[in-house]
Amino acid sequence: MEKSIEVHNLTVSYHSKPVLWDVDFELPKGKIIGVVGPNGSGKTTMLKTVMGLMKPDSGYTEIYGQPLDKVRERVSYVPQRESVDWDFPADVMDVVLMGRYRKNNLFKRITKEDRRIATEALEKVNLLEFADRQISQLSGGQQQRVFIARSLAQQADIYLMDEPFVGVDAATEDAILKLLRDMKNEGKTVVIVHHDLQTANEYFDWIVLLNTRLVAAGPKEEVFTKELLQEAYGGRLTVLSKLGDLISDTEFPLREPDFKEDQPKG
C-alpha cells in the first residue's frame, strides 16, 4: 500500500483532558477516506493535529513519509464552515484566491495565472457566476463550496476536509460528492471528517473509526461491521447521540415574529 498520511501513537489533550489516546494508523493514496465517530471523539482534533494546528502530547504524524513542513504545498485543508466570520468584507473570488497564497508569494501581487486557477476551481464547484458575490450573501451550501474551491485552487495532492456536508442542501451534497469522485479519479487523496453514520458507508472507500482511541481503520467493508460500530458508538450511546443529532438538526426557530402570518394557524 502506498501511504499518504501516517499517524503514530498520537495522544492529544485539550484542557489536560485527552481527546485522542494512542491513535495509530496509516492511510492509502488515491482514496476517499472518512474519519467517523460520535460527537467529541476527537475527529477534528485528529485533523488539526495532522495539519499542525494542534501540538500532540506524544506521537507524530507524517505525510508522504515526511513532516508536514516539507510537504505543505501538497496538502490542503478545508476548515469547518462555522470557523470563520462570513461577514468579512470579501467576495467569492477574494476567498478562492487565498488558496494561491504561499509563504514565498505573500509579498507579491496576484498573477494572471493565479486568477486562472481560481476561476477554474470556481467552475468545478459551479460557482463561477457568483465570483463577484459578497460572501455574506451566500447560502450555507455555497459557502461550503467556496471553501472547497479555495482548497482546489491550492492544487494539492491531499485534501483534508472538516465536516463539508454539514448544513448543505441535498443538491450541494451531490455536487460535492461528484467532485470528490473526480478528484479521486485524478489520483488525489481526500480525507473527510464526517459524523453521519447513515451516509458514511456510501461515501467512503476507507474508514477510520474513532472514539478517543482508534476503533478501526481500513477498507469500509472491514470496518463497517456491527461489532466495530457498536464498539465506537456503544450500545445505548447510539440512541443518545442520535437523539442529540436529531435535536441539533431540527431545533431552529420556526416562528420568527416577522413570519408569524405565514405560518399555518392552529
Partner 1 sequence: MSPTLAIALTASFTAVSCALLGTFLVLRKMTMVGDAISHAVLPGIAVAYWLSQSRASLWMFLGAAAVGVFATVVIEVLRKKLKVQSDASIGMTFTTLFALGVILITFWSDSVDLDQQCVLYGEIAYVPFNTWSTGALNMGPIALWSSGLLLIAVLLYIFIGYKGLKMSSFNEDYAAVLGIGVVAWNLSLMAMVSLATVVSFESVGAILVVALLVVPAATAYLMVDKLSHLLIGAGIIALLASIGGYGCSRLLDTSIAGTITTLLGVQFLIVLAYHQLIQKQQQHAVA
Residues binding partner 1 (CB under 8 A): 15, 48, 51-53, 69, 72, 75, 77, 79, 83-85, 88-91, 94-95, 98, 101-103, 106-107, 110, 134, 136, 150, 154, 258
Measured distance CA(113)–CA(100) in Å, rounded: 10
- List, in sequence order, the alpha helices (H) in 12-139: 43-50, 68-71, 92-97, 112-124
Residue 112's φ and ψ, nearest 5 degrees, are -60, -40
Measured distance CA(153)–CA(182) in Å, rounded: 15
Q: How far is the CB of 147 from partner 1 (least distance, A)?
A: 9
Q: How far is the CB of 89 from partner 1 (least distance, A)?
A: 5
> In what order do the strands lie in the sheet containing 206-211?
75-78, 158-162, 189-194, 32-36, 206-211, 213-219
Instruction: Identify the helix (H) or strand (E) that includes residue 170.
Output: helix 170-185
Q: Is the Cβ of residue 91 or residue 163 nearer to partner 1 in the bound state?
A: 91
Q: How far is the CB of 107 from partner 1 (least distance, A)?
A: 6
Q: Is the Cβ of residue 236 or residue 260 nearer to partner 1 in the bound state?
A: 260
Q: Is the Cβ of residue 2 or residue 258 nearer to partner 1 in the bound state?
A: 258
Q: Is the Cβ of residue 23 or residue 95 nearer to partner 1 in the bound state?
A: 95
Q: How far is the CB of 244 from partner 1 (least distance, A)?
A: 26
